[in-house]
Amino acid sequence: MLIKKILSMLFLIYCSAVGYSQTDIDAIMMSKNNFCTGFMYTHNSWDQYWEGTFKRNNQNLGTVSSQMIGVMGNYGLRDNLNLLFALPYISTKASMGTLAGQKGLQDLSLTVKWMPIEKKWGKGDFSLYTLGTLSAPTTNYVADYLPLSIGMRSKTAMVRLMLDYQVKHFFVTGSAAYIFRDRVTIDRPSYYTTELHNTNKVDMPDMTNYNLRTGYRSSTWIAEAVLDIAHTQGGFDITKNNMPFLSNQMNMTRAGANVKYTFSSIEGLSLIGNVMFTLSGRNVGQTTSVGAGVFYIFDFNKKKNKS
Amino acid sequence: MKKITIYIGSLLLLLAFMPGCNRSIEDRTKELPMLEPVKTDADAGDWKPVVLATPTEVILTAPLASNNAAYLRELNEIKGLQQNLTDAQRKTIQYWGAGAVLRWNEIMRELVAKRNLPPYQNADGSYPTPSAANPFSYPVFPFSNPPYAARAYAYVSVAQYDALVAAYYYKRLYTRQAPYKTDTGIKALLPENTLPAYPSEDAVVASAAVELLKLLFPADAAYVQQKANEHMEARIMAGMNTRSDIEAGVTLGRLVAAKVIARAANDNMSKAVGTPAQWAQLETDAAAGGEVPWKSLDAPSRPPMLPFYGRVRPFLFDSLTTIAIRPPAPPSTSSEKFKAELEEVKYYSKNATRDRIAIVHNWADGVGTSTPPGHWNLIAAEDFVPLRFSEVRWARNLALLNMAVMDAGITCWDTKYFYYNPRPTQMDREIKTTTGIPNFPAYISGHSTFSAAAATVLGYIVPAKANAYDAMAVEASNSRLYGGIHYRSDCEVGLAQGKKVGNFAIARGQTDGCN
């Protein structure tokens, strides 16, 4: 089961990490005519952030937190071709200061995940995946209100190449992605980055993402350690004591762990939990994320067979 | 299988490039038509300057005759430049050709936005104050907050206007033709006009701006000078001015700027920050009157922003008038009316609709922006472009606007610190805001005062849009109530006060000889 969340990567970047354990980034495919769906809850918070390279707190924000409830799903078009979606509802708040938190439905993402190669190699199994994701905001939420906006409002397209190697129950998965980000329209007619812009359109720098995960994988348990690196290709630093802006350079390196348990007593039901810490960053909060989810697989093959 | 591979592969490629295909930024003013004034305003040397008594208060010597050998050598410089113009140089000519006053107004807005950052606190929770004597060390001077910016826009606009009045006076006196008229081997790369070329109006505008901006934004002096050099070179390359036209403009601009800077040095701005003892006195006085005194809602608590800016000498009236036109007191913090107004703010705080947040953010003009005065300069500049004013009319109109906006700031700050009224959130911590709470008292709203003053002046300059400007001012004013940072009284009285100041500017405009 694999659910995903691309925007997590972008959004979690500042407002907090929406770390799903069930992501498109794992090397697992949904079988043909199976539909896995469920909910994920994630809590993200930070009280330290990087203003450029300067790490600081801010008594006018205190702890910035966000809560995400996402509905997501993955349908097996074929055994090696899956279609995934995710749609999160997010609410944000700051524990100190006067700024009002925001809440609302964020961005819908759709992913095509394809495994063109799966073969024996040495003692284990090698597989290769390509993923393509589109995301777009589903509501007219406020973007230009960092760090309390619920998202960036940028339409994105991502391509990812992923390799997996598994020997018995131990595996390594590595992937690299490039994320194209469309310009964003904000509510003001002019803004300053490193120069004055007389427009309400903001060009968003693209992003790259590298993800490495390794651990134990069986039909009942998955336990993995994760390293995730996201980099903005361009953008500028928050100047001293300024507010963050959408087109800042936002980088972060995060590490954490995922656990997934699939029940054998109730076929198709699984629970997941995860935690992610931010090791280093630039123009982002040092987010800690804790998430949990429940998922269920509907097998349409069975129904067909029965009927 | 192969078909699917190709299909998916091309789908992924398509996905990948969809948002990436349209990447050039849309900036409304990067590429504008060349300025071709409807009227040359050749007699603007008779218009009434602001700081100068008359244009002859600054002396500009006569240019060399057009048959003088040194002048002919200057013409050769232009021919040489025009033989080898690069695309980048042509772009520069076009950029500055949209209008000298316009471009310098944009540069000013850029500097204000760049420097509009409140200082970060010291380790002990106190705050450092930017120092003009030491502009590069943190905190960089200045912190161009709204009152600072209002005054900066006004002084630069006034210096440019006065310098242009003097320039047009000497143009008419000396009647030296533009190089492209003197020598047929020189092309005019910008629209031709009948205005004499000596001194160069562009050089006057650039030079006056450079001198004032070196004073107001010392940390950016090098950037400003580089822009001015680029601007003046562009005029020579375009065949519009010789080097001596430019140099005469620089000289004249400097002479006028010196007079304007002398005024700025004695306008009380240097005392606007005040001292800790004075800050404490403001609080004591307000409490003695039985009112809840304003407190900073920044953490750590920050000293009030420019509490004695109300004593800065205005352009359109004197400081006694500042006191005479001060609005009556706001509703007492213990009155029923106050409670009702606080409830209204709370309603908007709790019911922040998407439409209202858009209004709040459109007009917020907070940290890191060109401030509300800058926003009104943007509105003015973009509306002036299609009206094709001469440079001197551009400068006169922006000077009227910015004098009104600065004086609106002065009377507004005078009122704020006279009553020292608390912000809504200070009285009810449950009131959350959708924009930052400015670090100064509530009554009267700065946005409302600035905006009504600006809208009143702009309605006088562009009568066809007068109603639209008024509506914008009301929206800017409401945005502060919607954002949860102002009571209705702050907004309504602020609008009325701004209009009052705007009318002073109109009275000046009616008698400055421009119409």
B498 class by beta-carbon count within 10 Å (0-12 exposed, 13-18 middle, 19+ buried): buried
pLDDT digits (tens, 9 = 90+) for A120-175: 999 999 999 999 999 999 999 999 999 999 999 999 999 999 999 999 999 999 99
- Residue A211 · residue A175 · CB < 8 Å: yes
Nearest CA in chain B to A181: B19
Whether residue B350 lies within 8 A of chain A, CB to CB, comes out as: no
Q: How many CA atoms lie within 13 A of A237 on its CB side?
A: 12
Q: Is the pLDDT of residue A1 over 80?
A: no
For residue B45, what is the DSSP state?
A: G
CA distance B327 to B495: 11
Nearest by Cα to B488 from B475, B499, B477: B477
Residue of A190, A201, A247 to mutate, interface with B, max B Cβ within 10 Å: A190
Q: A99, B106: Cβ pair inside 8 Å? A: no
Residue A97 region, left (φ>0) first, then alpha (ψ -120 to 50), else beta? left
Residues of B in contact with A96 (CB under 8 A): 299
Q: B361, A188: Cβ pair inside 8 Å? A: yes
Q: B25, A155: Cβ pair inside 8 Å? A: no
Whether residue B31 lies within 8 A of chain A, CB to CB, comes out as: no
Pairing of strands A124-137, A107-121: antiparallel
User: Residue B26 has what pLDDT?
Assistant: 83
Domains located in chain B, CATH noted: 44-265 (1.10.606.20), 270-510 (1.10.606.20)
CA torsion sign for A250, A96, A190, A55 is: negative
The count of other CB atoms within 10 Å of the CB of residue B375 is: 25
pLDDT digits (tens, 9 = 90+) for A55-74: 999 999 999 999 999 999 99
Q: What is the mean pLDDT of chain A?
A: 91
Cα–Cα distances (Å) from A216 to A213, A219, A254, A294, in that order, read 10, 10, 20, 20
Architecture in CATH for domain A6-306: Beta Barrel (2.40)
Q: Which of residues 54-113 of B touch A (CB under 8 A)?
A: 106, 109-110, 113
Whether residue B371 lies within 8 A of chain A, CB to CB, comes out as: no
Nearest CA in chain B to A159: B16
Question: ipTM more than 0.90?
Answer: yes
- Residue B480 · residue B445 · CB < 8 Å: yes
CA distance B237 to B79: 8
The count of other CB atoms within 10 Å of the CB of residue B515 is: 7
| Reported confidence tier of residue A8, pLDDT bands at 50, 70, 90 | very low
Q: How far is CA B432 from the centre of its chain?
A: 30
Question: CA Rg, chain A, in Å?
Answer: 20
Residues of A in contact with B118 (CB under 8 A): 241
Nearest by Cα to B16 from A177, A246, A113, A9: A177
Average confidence (pLDDT) over A107-120: 97
The one-letter amino acid at B68:
N
- Residue B409 · residue B279 · CB < 8 Å: no
- Residue A238 · residue A51 · CB < 8 Å: yes
Q: How far away is chain A from the Cα of B252, in angstroms, using its nearest Cα?
A: 29
Question: CA Rg, chain B, in Å?
Answer: 26
pLDDT digits (tens, 9 = 90+) for A221-279: 999 999 999 999 999 999 999 999 999 999 999 999 999 999 999 999 999 999 999 99
User: Residue A6 has what pLDDT?
Assistant: 35
User: Residue A26 has what pLDDT?
Assistant: 84
Residues of A in contact with B5 (CB under 8 A): 116
CA distance B20 to B8: 19
Q: How far away is chain B from the Cα of A264, in angstroms, using its nearest Cα?
A: 34
| SS3 label, residue B435 | coil
CA distance B416 to B151: 17
**Token duo for residue A278:** 């931010």
| SS3 label, residue B399 | helix
Q: How far away is chain B from the Cα of A154, in angstroms, using its nearest Cα?
A: 9
Residue A16 region, left (φ>0) first, then alpha (ψ -120 to 50), else beta? left
Residue B498 backbone dihedrals phi, psi, to 5 degrees: -60, -40
User: Residue A17 has what pLDDT?
Assistant: 29
Q: B16, A159: Cβ pair inside 8 Å? A: yes
- Residue A188 · residue A170 · CB < 8 Å: no
Q: A201, B25: Cβ pair inside 8 Å? A: yes
**pLDDT tens track, chain B, 515 positions:** 455 555 555 555 555 445 444 455 589 999 999 999 999 999 999 999 999 999 999 999 999 999 999 999 999 999 999 999 999 999 999 999 999 999 999 999 999 999 999 999 999 999 999 999 999 999 999 999 999 999 999 999 999 999 999 999 999 999 999 999 999 999 999 999 999 999 999 999 999 999 999 999 999 999 999 999 999 999 999 999 999 999 999 999 999 999 999 999 999 999 999 999 999 999 999 999 999 999 999 999 999 999 999 999 999 999 999 999 999 999 999 999 999 999 999 999 999 999 999 999 999 999 999 999 999 999 999 999 999 999 999 999 999 999 999 999 999 999 999 999 999 999 999 999 999 999 999 999 999 999 999 999 999 999 999 999 999 999 999 999 999 999 999 999 999 999 999 999 999 999 999 98
Cα–Cα distances (Å) from B382 to B201, B377, B378, in that order, read 21, 8, 6
| SS3 label, residue A211 | strand
Nearest CA in chain A to B431: A98
**Token duo for residue B188:** 């005019």
